[in-house]
Chains A and B, each alone.
Chain A
């Protein structure tokens, strides 16, 4: 059980280049998230997904796109990288806790090890 894995660990891009970050989880979690971490600003949600085939915008979605074609994978794309996208990117996953009356809670988010991206 690897938990949440991210590929690649490091990447350097030139302005205007594109790339895709891969997040994979083997815990059968429904929910997946992409965050960026910048100094002094904590983690900010970029996009998230509540299930295979669904995605939604978070707090800072501009300049990013995502896809959730398979339940275990959540891809984050940068179509035209900008220096402002230099950051550390974290993926996380979680699941709903359901009962007879529906959803009554969530387990807490498990995070991957991060991808450090530099855009020159």
Chain B
């Protein structure tokens, strides 16, 4: 099946630093999504990208849909302790709203 490679697998940063993570795929997608999972909770949608080249922000978060439709990145600026969690990318291609998820990036923020 389709595979999404998400990197890095984990990050341990100082509060206030900027963070960047990305996903790449061997297949194209029509939609890229970024979710955040807090400990003990289900994933929550952060940003949705629907067009190649699209750059979208949500507060301190910025994500882009790659021109080739095979990649996406998520940036977090000025990290704070509540940014801790696991971030997942997901891609969608075609009908039925089926998503393929990346393996996740575990973010740890040191106050």
Contact = CB atoms under 8 A, between A and B. Distances in A.
Given A40-B9, A42-B4, A113 B48 contact: no
B41 A42 contact: no
B98 A48 contact: yes
Interface string B12-38: 000000000000000000000101000
Nearest to B35: A111
Interface residues of B, number: 25
A11 to B, nearest CB: 15
Which among B6, B33, B92, B96 has the highest number of chain A CB atoms within 10 Å? B96
A50 B96 contact: yes
A109 B1 contact: no
B108 to A, nearest CB: 15
Contact of A113 (B1, B41, B90, B99): B41
A5 to B, nearest CB: 10
Q: Which of A103, A106, A113 has the most CB of B within 10 A?
A: A106
A31 interface: yes
Contact of B43 (A45, A94, A111): A111
Contact of A114 (B42, B44, B45, B102): B42
B74 to A, nearest CB: 15
Contact of A90 (B33, B42, B90): B42
Contacts, number: 52
Contacts of B42: 4, 90, 92, 111-114
Interface in B89-110: 90, 92, 95-99, 101-104
Given A42-B6, A43-B99, A106-B97, 5 more contacts: A40-B9, A40-B103, A43-B88, A44-B101, A106-B92
Interface of A: 4, 31, 40-45, 48, 50, 58-59, 90, 92, 94, 96, 103, 106, 108-109, 111-114
22 contacts: A31-B96, A31-B97, A40-B9, A42-B4, A42-B6, A42-B101, A43-B43, A43-B88, A43-B90, A43-B99, A43-B101, A44-B101, A45-B98, A45-B99, A48-B96, A48-B98, A92-B42, A94-B97, A106-B97, A109-B97, A111-B35, A113-B41
